[in-house]
C-alpha cells in the first residue's frame, strides 16, 4: 500500500484516476492477472462505492477507451495517477510500448520532465529489486512468472 492521499481526492478525480489505470491495463489489448489485481487494489484505496467499482469493472471488461480520463484532474492527482499508471505498466513484468505511450502522454499533461519521468522509472526498478531481496531473505524464488490474462 502506497502512503498517498488517493482516498481524499474528490469523487470525480478518484474515478478518473481509475480510468487512467484502466487505459494502461487495456492498452495492449488484454488485462493480466497482475494488472487486474493492481486495479482492484487501487479502486479499494480510492474508497469508491461498490456501485462505482462495479461500473468501473464493467468498463474495463468492455475494453472502453480512457485516453481522455485525465482531462480536468487536479495537477497533484494527475501526478499520482502518472506514478500508478507506471506501476500498472510494470505489473505484468514488462513495459509494453503502448503502455509507455499512455505514460508519456500523462507525463506531458502533468508537466513532468523527461528527467522526472526517468526518476520515476528508477524508483520502480528500486522497488522491484527491494521485493526480490525480500523473496531472497525468505528463501523464495527471486523471479515470479505467473502472468495470465484476465480479460482479452
Residue ranges of domains in the chain, CATH in brackets: 6-113 (1.10.3680)
Cell reading at 145: 512468472
pLDDT of residue 137: 94
Interatomic CA distance for residues 23 and 139, integer angstroms: 36
Distance CA(31)–CA(24), nearest Å, equals 9
CA distance 38 to 28: 16
Digit-coded pLDDT (tens) for 12-68:
999 999 999 999 999 888 888 888 999 999 999 999 999 999 999 998 888 776 778
Q: What are the E-state strand segments in 9-110?
A: 31-32
> What nine digits make up the cell of 66?
480512457
- Beta-bridge mates of residue 149: 32
Amino acid at each position: 500500500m502506497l502512503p498517498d492521499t488517493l482516498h481524499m481526492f474528490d469523487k470525480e478525480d478518484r474515478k478518473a484516476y481509475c480510468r487512467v489505470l484502466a487505459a494502461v491495463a487495456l492498452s495492449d489489448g488484454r488485462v493480466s492477472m497482475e494488472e487486474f489485481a493492481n486495479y482492484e487494489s487501487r479502486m479499494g484505496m480510492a474508497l469508491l462505492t461498490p456501485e462505482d467499482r462495479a461500473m468501473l469493472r464493467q468498463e474495463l471488461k468492455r475494453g472502453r477507451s480512457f485516453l481522455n480520463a485525465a482531462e480536468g484532474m487536479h495537477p497533484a492527482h494527475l501526478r499520482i495517477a502518472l506514478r500508478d499508471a507506471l506501476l500498472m505498466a510494470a505489473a505484468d513484468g514488462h513495459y509494453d510500448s503502448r503502455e509507455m505511450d499512455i505514460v508519456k502522454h500523462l507525463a506531458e499533461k502533468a508537466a513532468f520532465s523527461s528527467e522526472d519521468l526517468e526518476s520515476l522509472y528508477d524508483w520502480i526498478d528500486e522497488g522491484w529489486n527491494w521485493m526480490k531481496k525480500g523473496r531472497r531473505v525468505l528463501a523464495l524464488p527471486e523471479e515470479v512468472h505467473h502472468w495470465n490474462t484476465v480479460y482479452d
